[in-house]
Structures are given as C-alpha cells and as structure tokens.
Amino acid sequence: MDDKEFIVTEFIGKVGLVKLNRPESYNALNLQVLTELMESLKELDERDDIGAIVITGDEKAFAAGADISAMADATTEEIKKSAFIPTFSLIREIKKPILAAVSGYCLGGGLELAMSCDMIIASTKSKFGQPEINLGIIPGAGGTQRLTRSVGKVVAMEMILNNRTLKAEEALSLGLINAVYPVEEFLEKSMSLAQDIAARAPLAIQSAKRAINQAYELNLTKGLDEERDLFFDLFSTQDQKEGMKAFLEKRKPSWTGN
C-alpha cells in the first residue's frame, strides 16, 4: 500500500485513513489517482483489522474536481472507452463503511467522490458544488443522481444548472453532510466517528450499509425484502449470538466478525 504516487494510507486503530495527495492541483482526480484510490480501498476492505475507512484530502481541498487536461480533447467514443467513470464506480463495491472528511474545495468529481462515501464530515471552510456546466458538460459520475437524492430537486437544479456553491452550514442544513467542525477538528472528529463505527459488530455494520444503500436503488417492497433477508442471515453469525448474550449478561460484547 506504500508504493502509490498520489495516495497515502495510514492505520489508526481499526480505521484506515486514505489521503488524496496531489496538492499542487487541489487533488484533482485523474485515472491514476482513482485507480490508486480504489486499489487502496479494496486492500483495506479485505483486512480483518480494519472496520471503517476515512478518505480525506488536505485543508485546502478534498478534491477540486476531475483533471480537465486529461479529457479536454476527448471525443465521445474516446470518453466512452475511458476507464475513468468505471473506475470511479468501483467504490460501490466496498463493503466497509467509508467516511469522507472534507475541507476546502469539494467540487465536480470531488463532490461525486464524497457523495459515493457513506457519510461526509466537513470543516467550516468547505465548499460544495457541481460546476461542470461551466465546461459545457454535466456531472458524469453520479452527481445528478446522488445530489438530487441528498438536497432535493430544486437545489440540485440550481447547483448543476447555475453553478450554485454550498458552504458547509448550507450543506448541513440541506442534508448533504453529517456535521461541520472547525478546520483544526474536522479530521479528528471524522476519525473518532469512524473508530466508533469500527468498534461495532463488523458483519452487522456491512449488512446495514448494504440495506441502506438498497433504499436508494430499489422500490420499497424489494428494499424491505432485502432488509429482511439480511436480518435473517445475521442470526447464523457468532456476532449475533455474542451480542445478544452480552446484552443479557450486561457486559460489553467481544466482536469477532464471524
């Protein structure tokens, strides 16, 4: 995990901290950045000692968007054949919860990346937007879909059609993010939340994440069926037996992930 040019990974307790490390371009996303990021996420997802993941940039930028220089001259056929969007979509395959710790610019592909995570914690200096309209295009990695589901149709319309940018408190009030903290605290608070989640029953956490995500993709009847099946399946796990036994014995459970 240490041989990547644009991604730095740290292990803190049961949390994997993944840092976008391209500060000279405000962490602009290109295929190499995304490939290295997804490789790191997959590696963390497979580790038994990691229960949650935090993705961050730096205080100036989470990610200011896609690297426009990498696609400016592309034709429709070339952009279709590009691995950029398919690579971006691989984050949906990660089973463990992912938190985005955002400060500074979170624009375009950067916002699409943050919204692909399960939660977003922001600093007071964060700015959220989908400015692709200024380039003669639209969001192509989930922006029109996830943003609309988060902030509603009319706000999403204004952000995408007219480049409205949300400050952190606005984003919080509209339900785009979970919490806002001072710049000197946002990463610490994100890690604290991730540590709390990572301390809980691993299989139940992953099943809950899957069920919640299905609420976006399925109708209610199918979503309820999916939730019920995941609920039933957890009764075949050792963690379910341990959790309920610990509750009855009034002690702290010891999770094994089995």
Known catalytic residues?
A: 66, 109, 112, 132
Q: DSSP characters for 99-161?
A: EEEE-SEEETHHHHHHHHSSEEEEETT-EEE-GGGGGT----SSHHHHHHHHH-HHHHHHHHH
Three-state DSSP class for residue 14: coil
Taking Cα atoms as reference points, which of 65, 66, 1, 71 lies closest to residue 36? 1
Main-chain dihedrals φ then ψ at residue 91, nearest 5 degrees = -60, -25
Q: Which two tokens stand for residue 175?
A: 């339900």
C-alpha distances (whole Å) from 125 to each of 45, 65, 85 are 30, 17, 28
Q: Residue 173's CB: how many other CB atoms inside 10 A? A: 12
